[in-house]
Amino acid sequence: MAEYRPLLIAGAIIGVFAIGFLVVFLLEKDKKESMGYERNMSDREIIRRLLRYALPYKKNFLIVFLVMLFSIVYDLASPLLVGHIEETVKDTFELPYLFSIVAVYAGILVVSMICTYIQAMMLQKTGQKILSAIRQDIFTHIESLSHEQLNNIPVGKLVTRVSNDPNAISYMFTNILVTLVKNVMVIFGVLGAMLTLNYALTLMVLCFVPFVLLFTVIFRKFSRKVHRSVNNATTDINTYLSENLSGIKITQIFNREDKKMADFLEKSQKLKKAKEARMLVFGIFRPMVYMLYITSVMCLLYMGGRANIEGRTYFGQALTSGVIVTFYMYISKFFNPIQTLAEQFDMLQRSFASAEKIFTIMDLVPEVVDEPDAIELTDIKGEIEFKDVWFAYKPGEWVLKGVSFHILPKQTVAFVGSTGSGKTTILSLICRNYDIQKGQILIDGIDIKRIKISSLRSHFGQMLQDVFLFSGDIRSNILLRKEGVSDQEVMDACRYVNADKFINRLEKGLDEPVRERGNNFSAGQRQLLSFARTIIHKPSVIILDEATANIDTETELLIQDSLEKIKNIGTMLIVAHRLSTIQHSDNIIVLSDGRIMEQGDHQTLLHQHGMYYQLYTLQFNKQQLMGA
């Protein structure tokens, strides 16, 4: 058999280099793209930041690593024991000795199973803790972002960052890293055990490694492409569903169901073809590696069987039946990790891509933050002053231009003007949803930048045109997790704003379920609930931004009555296009193109025959015509 020696040695050298190149190749980061994502962070930076979440559980990972060593010992020892059992049966057939070997094998198997269970449970629990910490951090960070930043980021992207992306990172901690480390250790452990057992058969096995490398390189290239296609098709169909399910009423009104169904089927077919392509790639790679495994087994049986029959040796080492059986098991344990390495590294890169997306959001610096010496306000009177305030959402495009006014405590002040004049912007600036570029805003004589944002906003109650109700019940939507409030106090607040009239007609009262966005209530009912929500939190400043824009006349009368009561609570700021809502305000500020044109009470402004007079006359004449 000496004629095979040069070939085996050459193949072995190539195989060793191929294993090293395989590991380096799979670890190498694709600088241009990774699963279709533009990578702006290095893998080293991502790992460093992920380790911050793993470090608190370093003892858990150390225990898992030690337990994993027992599993590796089983992987390395079991073929030797099986081979030894075969030799015992063939040569000596000593029944007690055979039982003892089988008992040792069974004991190692049981210990391995227990270790595997402990490893899986510890990793899952640790992974869930890390997952929870990441989700909590990113959600908390999202809450700290300014309104402008949140407006610029699609909601779907934020939901994905909080829900889906952490799952990929958790899977990395619970499965990928441990499996990678174990597979690499098993490969080199099996290789060392085979070299110790028989040089020739080990060199024969190494001859197949270059082919594994070739298949892995091809698989890695095509797997990225098909994964990217599936991800893009999935995103496309999810976006289509989100948009069209939200607007399904419009689809039905215009009788476009058939067209929408055709579009949906087209996108579904695209996703189907992408998934079929992915199945094809994986369906080819695994059989190819399995083919190499079977070929190596056939070579083992041929070389070992021939040598055993003819009584020959390789490199001075005999090939007994026990050695052949042992190598048969080692070959399986050698090829299985190699078969999964490419897939594991591919999934690791996807986890890194998810981590990069999360860290990209977490690296956003909130535009509106507390000053280092910001103070807490336990109570405010409600005095508000604007001093030469200039503000722009985009540099150079001024929305407010030198706005100045003074509001006394308990006053009711209304802001009117055409769309885009800056009314709603003023209300947003008072709550410090945005920071002004020039000027000063004072609350009780204190610059709002010197007040902690959470403290400042806790004294404001806002009632907007688009009332947002959360899924749950009426009680939870009024309280918004405010604790220590009895049902009697909740009903008193509802009665105060006339919301009790429709709540009492409901079968479950305060326990009446609220569906998504409160779509099982009318616009007026939702508005009354927002009034009750505001009252229960006892604000010092109340803001109404078009709160009566989309309600019927009957509900408007209830709200008008509620407003008269609410005026006694604190300072009230109102934005309304219906001038009838603000006629009794203490002061009416008329805005145009970001500037204050005039201000005063209702009668004073009418006598001036200025912009307010024109708005009132136009609206009054329109109502007269509609009445006619």
Per-residue pLDDT of 559-616, as tens digits, reads 677 677 777 778 989 887 777 778 888 899 999 989 999 999 989 999 998 888 888 8
Residue ranges making up the domain that contains 493: 463-538
Do 414 and 347 belong to one domain?
Answer: no
Residues 169-181: what's their mean pLDDT? 80
CA distances, 521 to each of 57, 253, 528, 566 (Å): 48, 22, 11, 23
Residues 5-24, mean pLDDT to the nearest whole number: 51
**Please, are residues 209 and 308 in contact by the beta-carbon 8 Å criterion?**
no
Q: Are both 74 and 109 inside the same structural domain?
A: yes
Give the integer Cα–Cα distance in Å for 45 and 440.
Answer: 41
pLDDT of residue 548: 63
The larger pLDDT score, comparing residue 438 to residue 559, is at 438
Residue range 468-496: mean pLDDT, rounded: 84
| Confidence (pLDDT) at 38 | 43
For residue 335, give Cα distances in angstroms to 127, 175, 218. 28, 19, 17
Give me the pLDDT at residue 109, please. Answer: 80
DSSP state of 364: P
More confident residue, 168 or 434: 434
553 assigned to some structural domain = no
Do 284 and 415 have their domain in common? no
pLDDT at 1 over 50: no
pLDDT band with cut points at 50, 70 and 90 for residue 39: very low
Same domain, 203 and 283: yes
Segment 393-412 shows an average pLDDT of 90
Q: What is the mean pLDDT of residues 157-186?
A: 80
The predicted pLDDT at position 598 comes to 92
Q: What pLDDT band is residue 547 in, cutting at 50, 70 and 90?
A: low
Instruction: For the chain, give percent helix, strand, coil, nearest 5.
Output: 65, 10, 20
Position with higher pLDDT, 327 vs 220: 327
How does the average pLDDT of the chain come out, rounded? 79
* pLDDT score of 621: 63
Q: Is residue 547 part of a domain?
A: no
Residues 121 and 172 in one domain: yes
Phi and psi for 508 in degrees, rounded to 5? -105, 5
Q: Which of 232, 213, 160, 459 is nearest to 342 (CA)?
A: 213
The percent of residues in the chain predicted with pLDDT above 90, rounded, is 9
Amino acid 90: pLDDT: 61
Res 295 pLDDT > 80: yes
Distance of CA 118 to the CA centre of its chain: 29
Residue 328 lies in a domain: yes
Mean pLDDT of the region 455-482: 83
pLDDT band at 384 (very low <50, low <70, confident <90, very high): very high
Could you read off the pLDDT of 213-236 as tens digits, one per residue? 777 777 767 776 776 677 677 767
Cross-strand partners of 575: 415, 545
Contact call for residues 70 and 112 (beta carbons, < 8 A): yes
58: nearest Cα among 122, 135, 112, 111 = 122
pLDDT at residue 323 in the model: 78
Do 47 and 97 lie in one domain? The reply is yes
In the predicted model, what is the mean pLDDT of residues 135-142?
A: 90
Residue 532 and residue 494 share a domain: yes
- Provide the pLDDT for residue 387: 93
Judge if 127 and 266 occupy the same domain. Answer: yes
Higher pLDDT, 199 or 551: 199
Look at the chain and report how many structural domains it folds into. 3
Both 272 and 341 in one domain: the answer is yes
Nearest to 314 by CA among 28, 7, 623, 625: 7
In a domain, 243, yes or no: yes
| Residue 577's CATH number | 3.40.50.300
Which is nearest to 542 in space by CA: 445, 414, 435, 418? Answer: 414
Neighbours of 266 (CB within 10 A): 11
Per-residue confidence (pLDDT) for residue 377, from 0 to 100: 84
352 and 376 part of one domain: no
Confidence of residue 34 (pLDDT cuts 50, 70, 90): very low
pLDDT given for residue 600 in this prediction: 92
Q: Which residues pair with 473 in a beta bridge?
A: 513
Q: Are 378 and 196 in contact (CB under 8 A)?
A: no
pLDDT band, residue 33 (cuts 50/70/90): very low
* Residue 119 and residue 226 share a domain: yes
Q: Is residue 290 part of a domain?
A: yes
548 lies in some domain: no
CATH number of the domain bearing residue 67:
1.20.1560.10
> Could you give the CA distance from residue 413 to residue 400 in angstroms, rounded to a whole number?
18
How far apart CA 411 and CA 238 sit, in angstroms, is 49
Give me the phi and psi of 583, to 5 degrees please: -60, -30
User: Region 69-87: what's the mean pLDDT?
Assistant: 77
Tens-place pLDDT, residues 248-272: 878 887 788 888 888 889 989 988 8
309 and 420 together in one domain: no
Does residue 33 belong to any structural domain of this protein?
A: no
Question: What's the pLDDT score for residue 579?
Answer: 78
Kindly tell me if the per-residue pLDDT of 62 is higher than 80. Answer: yes
The pLDDT score that the predictor gives to residue 627 is 47
Q: What is the mean pLDDT of residues 465-470?
A: 80
The pLDDT of residue 331 is above 60: yes
Answer yes or no: is pLDDT of 207 > 70.
yes
